[in-house]
Amino acid sequence: MSNYRILFQLSGSIACFKACNLISMLVKNNFEVVCSTTPNALKFIGISTLEGLSGRNVYHEMFESRPKKALEHTELSKWYDLCILCPATANVINKMAAGIADDAVTTSFLAHDFKTPYLIAPAMNKNMYDHPTTKRSIMTLKQMGVTVLDTDFGRQACGDVGNGRLLPPEDIFEIIANKLNTGPGEK
Ligand SMILES: Cc1cc2nc3c(=O)[nH]c(=O)nc-3n(C[C@H](O)[C@H](O)[C@H](O)COP(=O)(O)O)c2cc1C
């Protein structure tokens, strides 16, 4: 496939391990991937795993001192062809809809240029997904121009059965590829 540039954002969900499969799939298909995480995502997945899969530094701390670091959230928004937040927690979805920018992921979102696609793949417990606040936030984000993916119905990590499971990585891969219109010979 292509050399499209993907900013791959992760937030603190049990589904982070599934997102790793998707990152691997993207890299194997020649997408350039940079990962960015909320601090809580790093309680589910390690920086070394994300660096190993993407072959790039992970953007997770806004105030860490290193050359050019201070500008990364705005520089990144000019770098990528598509951004995906996967998995997207209820917390980060609600923060984004409210315009809160207090970590690397939400600050990058506020610096997002809507000329490029921004995808959100929710993953959460069914009650969090069906909560009126989350529903309203998803609607708000869609109205902004964000592509909010559906979720799967099924058994959840907590044992509940319902909506809110992350879509299979293969399905999300197809959605990304279609969004970028990638095919043999493109980019
Ligand atoms: C084991 C475990 C699994 C969790 N899985 C999810 C999840 O799949 N989706 C979700 O929205 N929150 C989940 N949470 C709650 C979030 O981690 C919590 O709301 C956190 O503040 C999210 O931080 P972030 O959105 O800044 O990454 C989980 C918490 C624990 C302890």
Give the model confidence (pLDDT) of 79-113 as tens digits. 999 999 999 999 999 999 999 999 999 999 999 99
Find the domain containing 52 and state its range.
5-179
- Arithmetic mean of pLDDT over the chain: 92
Å from CA of 87 to ligand 1 middle: 10
Is there an atom of ligand 1 within 6 Å of 88 CB? Answer: no
* 184 lies in some domain: no
Q: Is residue 187 part of a domain?
A: no
How deeply is 66 buried, as exposed, middle or buried, from its count of CB atoms within 10 A (0-12, 13-18, 19+)?
Answer: exposed
pLDDT at residue 69, rounded to an integer: 59
Asked whether the predicted pLDDT for residue 25 surpasses 70, the reply is yes
110 found inside a domain:
yes
Task: Assign 3-state DSSP to the chain and report helix, strand, coil percentages, each to 5.
Answer: 45, 20, 35
2 lines ligand 1 (CB under 6 A): no
pLDDT at 63: 77
Would you say residue 136 lies in a domain?
yes
Where is average pLDDT lowest: 58-67, 96-105, 106-115, 160-169?
A: 58-67
Report whether pLDDT(139) > 80.
Answer: yes
C-alpha 114 to ligand 1 mean position (Å):
27
Confidence of residue 29 (pLDDT cuts 50, 70, 90): very high
The two three-digit tokens of residue 15, written as one number: 């589904």
Whole-number pLDDT of residue 68: 58
Q: Is residue 186 part of a domain?
A: no
Whether the pLDDT of residue 52 is over 90: the answer is yes
| Nearest protein Cα to ligand 1, atom 14 | 13
CATH of the domain at 26: 3.40.50.1950
86 touches ligand 1 (CB under 6 Å): no
The pLDDT of residue 19: 98
Residue 185 lies in a domain: no
**Number of domain units in the chain:** 1
Inter-CA distances, 137 with 41, 96, 152, 158, 162, Å: 20, 8, 19, 23, 20
- Asked, for residue 94, whether it belongs to a domain, the answer is yes
For residue 158, the model assigns a pLDDT of 81
Q: Whose CA is nearest to atom 2 of ligand 1?
A: 14
Mutate to test the pocket of ligand 1, among 10, 45, 91 (most ligand atoms within 8 A of CB): 91
Is the pLDDT assigned to residue 67 strictly greater than 60? Answer: no
Q: What phi and psi, each to the nearest 5 degrees, are found at residue 48?
A: -65, -35
- For residue 13, the CA-to-ligand 1 centroid distance in Å is 4
70 pLDDT higher than 70: no
Q: How confident is the model at residue 77, as a pLDDT?
A: 85
Give the residue-averaged pLDDT of 54-76. Answer: 76
Instruction: Examine residue 36 and state whether it is found in any structural domain, yes or no.
Output: yes
